[in-house]
Structure 1
């Protein structure tokens, strides 16, 4: 009969193994929050399993099956998803079974017997079982450190799918390899073969984790690269449209103003100049400057009503013509565009801003060029005020 002290040690180590397994699953990101199935219940399951295994001469394959059932039940209830629970159970069980079977095979080699003889030895079985549980605790900590270095994509992706099927493969391999322990076979080198195969499986699991982690990481980088290239192509197409329009917009803007003057319709204009474009180009590159111009154009389109005409006069200067509007209205919409830009900074650059001046029709005999020049002069006054604020330390 097994000694009470040995049984108590096995139960304590089973509780430690449950906590180590739970921590490993939490590191995988699929262990749930502990409210569905508190980890203490997993500890109770493994403690009961360790106590029964210490008292009864249960075949190794049955011991492994019981441990897997405890892990699977706990993790499926904890995660709320059968696929995640089985994935976690298979991975943790692989570490668990490899540790326990490796210790049993080593003990059988030391005593010069077979694994089934160690299982049937009431005095030896609890000590070997306790050693296997202790080895599993160490393996779980090592596996967790491996996952810290090579994190897995537990929510989906190639690494998760590969490890999911590898977990089932490991389960089948362990059960098949432990099958001889069901019978009283005195096969030469049986213990050595079992120990070597379990050690090989442990190394394979670690290598597979690293390989699938790198595979998932490379796939993630590739997806990010493709997304970045797609976004860059869209941006270049948008910039191409802006560049094509740039040569025509200045003339279009003047013609729009001339047409409104000719028909006697009231209107107002806003002449805008982006602040700090040269500094952005010099510091971050012309692509960043182009991105700022695109953001500025988008903000103007979203802030001014649909009847307004937006024309790019030069590299960083824009003219907005607002029919049926006055200086107060056009200035208000320009202020709204500034608020939009402040709330949507360009990545890597920061918030975009601009200086602007306004002018409205109504001066007798004023030409289109003179009206636009009047707004341009007002813009330069705003630009000087902006530079004064920057040099004073407030942007």
Structure 2
């Protein structure tokens, strides 16, 4: 499967022995599925929290079905991307025994995270209000599409819908055609980051007050935030953002150019960078001195002529030539890469963004790290995502003190799925 993994990616370097973790000792019950919820709890797991993912017996999280499927993962690669460093317990919440186990686990938890459809967690008897008195320190985070209250609380939502309805799609692409969605689930990922931040803030508050609280993050709310400063620009000017393609409506020159061998992007965010580009990189000091290009506003107005001058210069040499000159002149630039090129790039290797980690069946598997570097509490060493219910026995034993006979009885009663009997892991 990974013929070149040892050549392409370094082995993960374990954190220093006995190093503490930032969220060491924090227990989280994870009732989430797909991306936004699971990615939030994975960040917390990477920080050292003990995350127990509650899944439906058999099929588990529906995100397990996203391709490519790897049997050794118990699902697809996308699922593995959002669920490392967790343990999985399979509970049939339609049974009284399964529901009772969920309640008992929550009673031992510091944090609960859920992204069921609105009203489901309450119908199960597991909502925040249930725990305000019995577990007053509990932090209860709900991730939803349009919020848990209000006229749109019943609506389902996925990343592309949030991109569409927030205005995000309208801003991206080229002006002569309809807006284009981002293929990357940017709204899910950023919503996960927001949920993680909200939970961390609630944990800091609890450390000070001793009290937990409910936390809510909505995909739509976050998607509007992800349109950046465009909403305020629209409010002040009345104008909708135009789709600029690979250029910028606010700075110039900023866009894609072609060397003799490949394309690259430059971004001149201010006049000082523009001056360095013209005098130290493309040897056009007369353009740098031309009053017609003196200010950013001037350059935006004359974008076409300026781009033509630059493209004529860039077409004379390969990317390696221009990259060296721009780096020396401190002009922000970057080659246009594919995903495969990016994860194998020198920058990615230097930062150890992608490493290989051991897997009990496959030998080595790749791992994409979080962009967080702690000096005192390094992130947890990555452990591959679990199969459905892989850790059921261990969790019930460690968290609830159940012995083998009691777990066996619950299995036979269907708490972990019809006629399911889990062996210890």
TM-score range, shorter chain: under 0.3
Q: TM-score under structure 2 normalisation?
A: 0.19
Bigger CA radius of gyration: 1
Q: TM-score under structure 1 normalisation?
A: 0.20
RCO (CA 8 Å, sep 6+): is it higher in 1 or 2?
Answer: 2
Q: Normalized per residue, which structure has more helix?
A: 1
Q: Normalized per residue, which structure has more strand?
A: 2
